[in-house]
Amino acid sequence: MESQAESKEVNVRVAVRIRPLLPKEKLNGEEVCVRVVPNSNQLVMGKDRAFTFDNVLSSKTTQEEVFQLCVEPLVKSCFEGYNATVFAYGQTGSGKTYTIGGGNISSLTEEEYGVIPRAIKQMFDIINAEQNISFCVKVSYVEIYKEELQDLLDVDKSSKEIHVREDDKGNTVIIGAREVECSTLDEMMSLLEAGSAVRHTGSTQMNEHSSRSHSVFTVVISQTWTEGDVLATKRKQSQSESIDGLDEEITHNTCAKFHFVDLAGSERAHKTGNVGDRFKESVHINSGLLSLGNVISALGDPKKKSTHIPYRESKITRILKDSLGGNAKTVMICCISPSTASFDESLNALKYANRAR
Ligand code: ADP
Ligand code: MG
């Protein structure tokens, strides 16, 4: 039997991940204000505010479990030609970067690796086990800061050189961003590390810059196979009975991309008390998150089906356009801190995530 989530027409799943209290929060005597209802996909904030999501991941959930539950199925569909997007939403400090895996990788044990290193490892495992298909894997890594694109794989490039376009087939392309072909996992890991380092050391205060920008790590997988090669392999294995219907001359191509998105912090502009430039930044960030919320909620609303989905309202939704909803698979991981000190922000994040369902 199909699960409820699978039978939903729109391929948007929403998971909530509650991180553990950090050592310094424990030292401060902060307390936990959220609990998971055992054996369910429900959580309760404070006394009685209950929420239900596709997955509720308690503070004990490991990185491997998050990957297996939320992302592994998307990697598999990517090889079947479906675009995919996984994004982390939540206030600064809630665990987005830890979950997505675009932090300082060299400081982590393999067990602590987030989603990206695990997903790309799985991609190369699949590729290396395949005999009849030839693959081309390319990666790009950009950041959106104040509605401008920055290339994390080429720091010298001016943001004016990078644009989002839609080609005649409706595919979204980022023109001008460096795209690197990788033939090994190591190569791709190095690019992830280098790009992430730009993001996390590029500013004076560590979390300052990354909390105000969205980062998008994109892997494009192209596959080519000929029925002739499959025939040759099958003949070698003398599986003559299964070669009917294959034609030596026919070549197949598929291409799909996987976006891994670490969104800007969801904390409200008013809370940071920003004025001037900082305030303008907050407005940009929030308009990106707002329009992403609008797009996802419109995708989930059957009444709005095929009518206007407001992709054009921000850079982040323009970039993700062909990888959200429709034929694409999308997972939103809403990260929350368990601490009473974050109650209001966590509640806001859960409301945002709830709209996406
Ligand atoms: P964000 O990117 O949302 O600002 P981070 O991913 O940087 O948040 O996480 C904030 C801190 O909490 C970091 O020190 C991180 O290592 C830690 N942390 C986040 N999630 C977890 C988790 N599930 N288990 C252990 N530590 C975590
Ligand atoms: Mg972060």
pLDDT single digits (tens) 24-49:
999 999 999 999 999 899 999 999 99
Angle of CA points 192, 86, 213, to nearest 5° = 60
- Pocket of ligand 1 contains residue 266 by CB under 6 Å: no
User: Do residues 330 and 13 lie in contact, with contact meaning Cβ atoms separated by under 8 Å?
Assistant: yes
The residues spanned by each domain of the chain are 4-355
Q: How far is the CA of 54 from the centre of ligand 2 (A)?
A: 23
Specify the DSSP element, H or E, that contains 282: helix 276-299
Average confidence (pLDDT) over 125-129 = 97
Tell which residue, 148, 112, 100, has the closest CA to residue 258.
100
**CB of 92 closer than 6 A to ligand 1?**
yes
The predicted structure's pLDDT at residue 280: 62
- Say if ligand 1 is within 6 A of residue 104 CB: no
How much distance in Å is there from the Cα of 264 to the middle of ligand 2?
8
Q: Which fold has domain 4-355?
A: Kinesin (3.40.850)
Q: Which atom of ligand 1 is nearest to the CA of 100?
A: 6
- How does pLDDT run across 222-267, given as a tens digit for each residue? 999 988 888 888 888 776 656 677 888 889 999 999 999 999 999 8
Q: Minimal CA–CA distance to 337: which of 52, 64, 30, 119?
A: 30
Provide ipTM, 2 decimals: 0.99
The pLDDT tens digits of the residues spanning 72-105 come to 999 999 999 999 999 999 999 999 999 999 988 8
19: Cβ below 6 Å to ligand 1? yes
* Cα-to-centroid distance, 26 and ligand 1 (Å): 15
88 alpha carbon – ligand 2 mean position (Å): 9
Which of 357, 347, 211, 216 has its CA nearest to residue 293?
357
Asked whether the predicted pLDDT for residue 336 surpasses 90, the reply is yes
- Ligand 1 closest atom vs CA 335: 3
